[in-house]
Structure 1
Amino acid sequence: MALAAKGLVLVFVLATVWDVDAAGAVFDRVRAWIEGTLDWFYVLAVCASVFTCLFLVCSRFGRIRLGDEASSPEFRTSSWLAMLFSAGVGIGLLFFSIAEPIFYFDNSHAAGYPNNPGADLAGAVLLDERRAVHAMRVAYFHWGIHGWAVYVVVGLCLAYFGFRKKLPLTPRSALYPLIGERIYGPIGDLVDLLAVFGGVFGIATSLGLGASQMATGLDVLLGVDPGLVTQVALIAAISLAATLSAVSGVSRGIRILSEWNIGLSVLLLGCFLFLGPFTWLVEFLATSLGEYLWRVVPMGLWIADDPGHAAWQNAWTIFYWGWWISWAPFVGTFIARISRGRTLREFILGVMVVPTGLALLWIGVFGGNAIHLELNAPGGVGTAGIIELVRGANYEAALYATIDRMSDISWLAWAMSAVATLLLATWFITSSDSGTLVITTLLSMGDPHPPRRFRIVWGLGVGVVAAVLLLADGLQALQTAAMAAALPVGVVLLFMIAGLLRSLARDP
């Protein structure tokens, strides 16, 4: 299976490098087909994950322990939560935390479709606080419980079958109640191969986004050209660092970097919270979070039929669901690997509530600051310059533009930009190293300590895929790769849910 996985990735890389323009055209066609044909499937897979989590956490199955009855957690709770957050969110949250709310707040239709169909349908068409609340509601939706539920389901399946049923720590094991010993044959190999394929491209998407934003940060800090050469060089350097971290294992490199991430994140979040309009932010957070919780169910079930609304949903919601699903084998295997000894209820609540709450707080504070700057711009609403960057699809620069406008003290703005760039680097490393460990675990039939040569090959290989996608078509290619990889993984996800529920019903 390892050779088949390498072969698939190698064919993709060579085909893309051979003709970059043709590869970009293929990516465009693939994305158009997925958006026009299978948007309902992505919504179904994510909603099925949410309902499965809600059912399990409220059922008698919540007491079941992921392992032997006498087992205890391997990591203390603080380290466990730090690794969950770093592996599950990382680069993407910092990339989109300002650009996305600002995009939904805008009303220009600069992308060729409505910026926020929900706000428009509710009559919130002016750039005011009412539209701002609608903008944050959508951002929370894309980073809230729906995405994390996908991670929970995959991680729970792997941990349950791996630690309690003593099967390999790979997705094939979740199908044991459905196909029995055939999981050790071609069907099982195919399931794990699809998980590896999805994981590689899901991780590569995040690495590409992180490299483009880090390059922008180096331009702000040091005047370095943020072009493709710099981005590819960053991917190469950090992929090397991530490979070294993966070789050192979970208990050393990955755990230490994850805890370092949390420290830097708290520092940057504190700067945004206390240097910004603190009282306004608290009120805005309460209002927007309440709006999200009130509307979360109909938002999750909505499938657009109007062409303009469908274009928006495909560009944002369907891309996000595809990204979460493609990441699920990676994050699910990783959180299963670090969750031995916890109960099902503790696992579900820990993974869904704590990282989700931190992600929503992050988006509310970062996005809220940017929206407040636009609402109170000296030249009038919408003239602070952040909206203009987002209209031009310069999402990477929105973070640094917000930092620049938050303080009149130049050295403080520079220091905050430096912390943001450093945080991108450490998140870059933890996403890549934990992803490398997961891929090699899957290819080693669930061995939690895969051979070091596997970690080296795949650690560098994921970086190569990210670089190739950037060269092919930038952000568009990254998004298409994540959505396409999610399609087969989503099918496997539904079978995993069926296998888990069937096995739990028989668990003594």
Structure 2
Amino acid sequence: MSDLNAGQRPANGLFTGVDKPLAITSFATVLAFIAFTVLWPDRASDTFNATMAFIEQRLGWYYILAIGGLLFFAIYLGASPVGRVRLGRDDDVPEFSNFSWFSMLFSAAVGTGLLFWSVAEPMSHFQGNPYAALENTAPGGTAAAELALRITVFHWGLHGWAVYITVGLILGYFSYRRGLPLTPRSALYPLIKDRIYGPIGHLVDLLAIFSTLFGTATTLGLGVSQMNAGLNALFGIPISPTAKLILIGTVTLLATLSVCTGLKRGIRMLSEWNIHLSLILVLFFLIAGPTTYLLGLFSTTVGDYLSHAIQMGFWVDPNPDDQWQGWWTLFYWGWWFSWGPYVGMFVARISKGRTLRSLIFGGMGLAALGSMIWIVIFGGTALHLQLGDQVDLVSIVNQDKTQALFETIKALDVPWASTAMIGLTTLMIVTWFVTSADSGTLVICTMLSMGDSQPRTLYRVIWGLGLGGVAAVLLLAGGLQALQTAAIIAALPFSLVFLVMCYSLTVALRDEDGTPPTVYASAMHEDVQRKVHSA
């Protein structure tokens, strides 16, 4: 294992504590991408748009089948006898309490995104979507509102969480149970053995770093846009590129400070704080909003989602000219895939001692349920206000999606509480933002250091600031559309690796016959660790 004592490492040397070829290659690749985007913005935009169009028109079926297959794969693992296998030795116990574990899992994975889309997405689908035509649902009515919530819950439900949880259990299994580094390359050991320490392994980790960086930058860009909207509502701060850049810089510094404090202090404490703040906001909506309507809507939405999940999960739009599926479902599936290495690594890092079954049904089930509750309460309130003609949220969303949640809070018209809740929401965006950024930075540094759970502080600072820089560049290069495109493109290569990782896990699980598992760490593994930590 690679939990080395940081005090025993040489303090000098730029590449001390990281894999030198991987560190140089990853840094150079990111710099090249940023330079291309900044120096040749028109060519970069044309390239991104052409790649996006190719994925939408030619590879939509692949994303749909891959995500659907992974959900069934995860359920099979959890229900089969191997579900009893523990991430670690058979006598290991979980490192974190259930509350801390869920707080970190939920905060790192979906916090900022849910705040952004919980109102904006249902209001967008309420105006029209392909499923409405398939089901003969008239726009603008109660049935259209229920369909809009079902689609939103589908995008944030079991399919996406299957990616995060499956990556997490694969990486945790090979690290804690088989003695390999906590990096994506380790998952290929049953197939290529010690070649994971060569060019193939470097390529796999490089793809994971690239995917993590741009997937996280996408969410950070969405978050800072909404943060700017919240400050505008509170203090009249203009919504502008300059304001967004200042916010990115400020929150990036906070995230970098947080990641330097480590997992058990900064990240855990912020995550638990996020959940407590979220409960306050949820209770406000539930009490100040249409309480009875929301409770009934939750029951309806759960049944509606579960009865349509398989059908929606495998539906591919036959109309090549319709961009709805590309900019909604494929964006989400690409987003889940692009965040797969990051959230999966983080899930593995906090899940040592848990069984595959508890991770799959506990993590995936509770997280999907939490997302569903959030969406129904926030999105359901917005739809109720729209149906009652209390506020025209459709026009607001069409003009500026970042304003959707704040305008919903204002429309509830609770004099003293509305301003307080807008302030609380803005604060939550900051804390979710920081949690996502520091967790992403920790994951990238863990991969660069060949699985060390306490990577060198210098690299935490470099990549923490780098994450903010990439988010700023993408936001300036094309706004939300550029961020969405980057997430989908970054996801494609790693999704292929992920499918191979799933097969490799099935090969390794064949040895789980009740006897202590074979440790894969070899002499080459030990040699690589010595080189990394004595550079």
Same fold (TM over 0.5): yes
Asked whether 1:119 is paired with 2:126, we answer no
Residue 348 of structure 1: how far off its partner (Å): 0.9
What amino acid does structure 1 have at the position aligned with 2:393?
A: I
**Helix, strand or coil: the match of 2:510?**
helix
Residue in 2 that maps onto 1:371: 383
Residue in 2 that maps onto 1:203: 216
1:41-60 matches, within 5 Å, as 41-60=62-81
Q: How far, CA to CA, are the matches of 1:57 and 1:151 in structure 2? A: 14
Residue 129 of structure 1: how far off its partner (Å): 1.1
Q: 2:310 aligns with which of 297, 302, 321?
A: 297
Task: Confirm or deny: 8 A CA contact 2:168 2:343 kept in the other structure.
Answer: yes
Residue in 1 that maps onto 2:525: none
Asked whether 1:226 is paired with 2:239, we answer yes
Residue 408 of structure 1: how far off its partner (Å): 4.6
Q: How far, CA to CA, are the matches of 2:507 and 2:414 in structure 1? A: 60
Q: 1:459 aligns with which of 461, 464, 477?
A: 464
What amino acid does structure 2 have at the position aligned with 1:117?
A: P
Task: Confirm or deny: 8 A CA contact 1:132 1:371 kept in the other structure.
Answer: yes
Deviation digits for residues 3-22 of structure 1, max 9, x if unmatched? 10000000111111113333
Task: Confirm or deny: 8 A CA contact 1:143 1:356 kept in the other structure.
Answer: yes
Asked whether 1:11 is paired with 2:32, we answer yes
**Helix, strand or coil: the match of 2:323?**
helix
Q: How far, CA to CA, are the matches of 1:359 and 1:464 in structure 2? A: 29
What amino acid does structure 1 have at the position aligned with 2:58?
A: T
Asked whether 1:447 is paired with 2:456, we answer no
Q: 1:352 aligns with which of 345, 350, 364?
A: 364
Q: How far, CA to CA, are the matches of 1:23 and 1:418 in structure 2? A: 37
Task: Confirm or deny: 8 A CA contact 1:99 1:390 kept in the other structure.
Answer: yes
Task: Confirm or deny: 8 A CA contact 1:45 1:493 kept in the other structure.
Answer: no
What amino acid does structure 1 have at the position aligned with 2:406?
A: Y
1:292-331 matches, within 5 Å, as 292-307=305-320, 310-331=322-343
Residue in 2 that maps onto 1:109: none
Residue 151 of structure 1: how far off its partner (Å): 0.4
Q: How far, CA to CA, are the matches of 1:251 and 1:122 in structure 2? A: 49
Q: 2:396 aligns with which of 385, 389, 398?
A: 389
Asked whether 1:82 is paired with 2:103, we answer yes
- How many equivalent residue pairs? 492
**Helix, strand or coil: the match of 1:506?**
coil
Q: How far, CA to CA, are the matches of 2:40 and 2:294 in structure 1? A: 48
Residue 213 of structure 1: how far off its partner (Å): 0.4
Asked whether 1:178 is paired with 2:185, we answer no
Residue in 2 that maps onto 1:487: 492
**TM-score, structure 2 as length reference:** 0.91
Q: 1:407 aligns with which of 403, 407, 413?
A: 413
Q: How far, CA to CA, are the matches of 2:130 and 2:55 in structure 1? A: 21
What amino acid does structure 2 have at the position aligned with 1:98?
A: V
Residue in 2 that maps onto 1:398: 404
Residue in 1 that maps onto 2:7: none
**Helix, strand or coil: the match of 1:89?**
helix
Q: How far, CA to CA, are the matches of 2:475 and 2:413 in structure 1? A: 33
Q: 1:475 aligns with which of 466, 472, 480?
A: 480
Residue 93 of structure 1: how far off its partner (Å): 0.6
Q: How far, CA to CA, are the matches of 1:157 and 1:126 in structure 2? A: 43
**Helix, strand or coil: the match of 1:74?**
coil
Percent identity, aligned pairs only?
50
Q: Which runs of 5 or more residues in structure 1 are unaligned?
A: 107-114, 379-383
Deviation digits for residues 309-362 of structure 1, max 9, x if unmatched? x42111100000000000010000001001001111011112101111111100
Task: Confirm or deny: 8 A CA contact 1:322 1:482 kept in the other structure.
Answer: yes
Residue in 2 that maps onto 1:434: 439
**Helix, strand or coil: the match of 1:282?**
helix
Residue 24 of structure 1: how far off its partner (Å): 2.4
Residue in 2 that maps onto 1:103: 124
Q: Which runs of 5 or more residues in structure 2 are unaligned?
A: 1-21, 514-535
**Helix, strand or coil: the match of 1:166?**
coil
Instruction: Pick which of 124-133 and 473-482 moved more.
Output: 124-133
Task: Confirm or deny: 8 A CA contact 1:95 1:399 kept in the other structure.
Answer: yes
1:142-161 matches, within 5 Å, as 142-161=155-174
Q: How far, CA to CA, are the matches of 1:450 and 1:61 in structure 2? A: 32
What amino acid does structure 1 have at the position aligned with 2:329?
A: T
**Helix, strand or coil: the match of 1:194?**
helix
**TM-score, structure 1 as length reference:** 0.95
Residue 507 of structure 1: how far off its partner (Å): 2.1
Q: How far, CA to CA, are the matches of 1:269 and 1:507 in structure 2? A: 43
Q: How far, CA to CA, are the matches of 1:173 and 1:52 in structure 2? A: 20
Task: Confirm or deny: 8 A CA contact 1:151 1:332 kept in the other structure.
Answer: yes
